[in-house]
Amino acid sequence: MKWHRINALLIRHLYLFKRSVPRLMDIFFWPVMELLLWGFISVYISKLNIAGFNAVTVLLGAVIFWDLMSQSQRAVSIAFLEDVWERNFLNIFVTPLRLSEFLASTVILAFVRILMVGAVMSILAALFYQFNFLMFGLYLVPFMLNLLIFGSAIGLFTTALILRYGTSAQVLAFGLLFLVQPFSAVFYPVSALPSAVQWISYLIPSTYVFEGMRAVIATGMLPTSLLLGAIIANIIYFVGLSWYFYRSFAVVKNKGKLLKLD
């Protein structure tokens, strides 16, 4: 992999972001609105004084984590869609750029996005709701990295589907993650799900992350088994979905449809 080519694609996105209000809104405005909405709900639930349940900590933690994963997925999918919308694939892929470099740039972009969104949401959560992520030390960081990887893997899958089935599949770039949300135990523990579907939850890496986040908040300790579960599930997903993406790219090249993604 050559860094100058990855860097070129990152710079291109920087150019796009610095003058695009909708793109900046996608990073800052919507996450902040979501934080405020859930923040008020959390404050209201707290006033109900439900024993043993710290609504602000659990719900705001979940909202921030969910948004980080969502940002990661969208960063990968939309970076790809930018080139579809601008019909720029030919220009990009007649350069020596490798597919792995293209993917690396989207994952780095996802990482930068979750850093920015994470920082903004954490600061606002601390200011408005006295919810301080740092009080859990660095225990939440490995879980956040797992969200980045899972979000990117789902982004790759979405991208592969758009490659194969055309831009009519682009709605998945904005909605696919919501298919896994009910099973990921984002706002409630897995035990709250009907026992018949709990096994589905444990097939999804994000379930271990959200369960892990709640365990860190409740005990102040690092739940190593949940972290290990997230890592193993993520490796399986990332390798599997990357293979599917490469395979889809090869199929599209073979069918001569790379430049016909309309």
Contact positions toward other proteins, by CB under 8 A? 2, 4-5, 7-9, 11-12, 15-16, 20, 82, 86-88, 90-98, 250, 253-256, 258-259
| Closer residue to other proteins, CB minimum distance, 95 or 225 | 95
Q: Kindly state the smallest distance separating residue 13's Cβ from other proteins, in Å.
A: 10
Q: Kindly state the smallest distance separating residue 252's Cβ from other proteins, in Å.
A: 10
| Closer residue to other proteins, CB minimum distance, 95 or 132 | 95
| Closer residue to other proteins, CB minimum distance, 179 or 260 | 260
Distance of alpha carbon 105 from alpha carbon 79, whole angstroms:
9
| Closer residue to other proteins, CB minimum distance, 37 or 99 | 99
Distance of alpha carbon 59 from alpha carbon 56, whole angstroms:
6
Q: Kindly state the smallest distance separating residue 99's Cβ from other proteins, in Å.
A: 11
| Closer residue to other proteins, CB minimum distance, 12 or 164 | 12
| Closer residue to other proteins, CB minimum distance, 216 or 252 | 252
User: How many other C-beta atoms lie within 10 A of the C-beta of residue 91?
Assistant: 11
Q: Kindly state the smallest distance separating residue 4's Cβ from other proteins, in Å.
A: 5
| Three-state SS sequence of the chain | CCHHHHHHHHHHHHHHHHCCHHHHHHHHHHHHHHHHHHHHHHHHHHHCCCCCCCHHHHHHHHHHHHHHHHHHHHHHHHHHHHHHHCCCHHHHHCCCCCHHHHHHHHHHHHHHHHHHHHHHHHHHHHHHHCCCHHHHCCCCHHHHHHHHHHHHHHHHHHHHHHHHHCHHHHHHHHHHHHHHHHHCCCCCCHHHCCHHHHHHHCCCHHHHHHHHHHHHHHHCCCCHHHHHHHHHHHHHHHHHHHHHHHHHHHHHHHHCCCCCCC
Q: Kindly state the smallest distance separating residue 10's Cβ from other proteins, in Å.
A: 10
Q: Kindly state the smallest distance separating residue 15's Cβ from other proteins, in Å.
A: 5
Q: Kindly state the smallest distance separating residue 105's Cβ from other proteins, in Å.
A: 11
| Closer residue to other proteins, CB minimum distance, 93 or 202 | 93
Distance of alpha carbon 157 from alpha carbon 173, whole angstroms:
9
- At position 136, the amino acid (one-letter code) is F
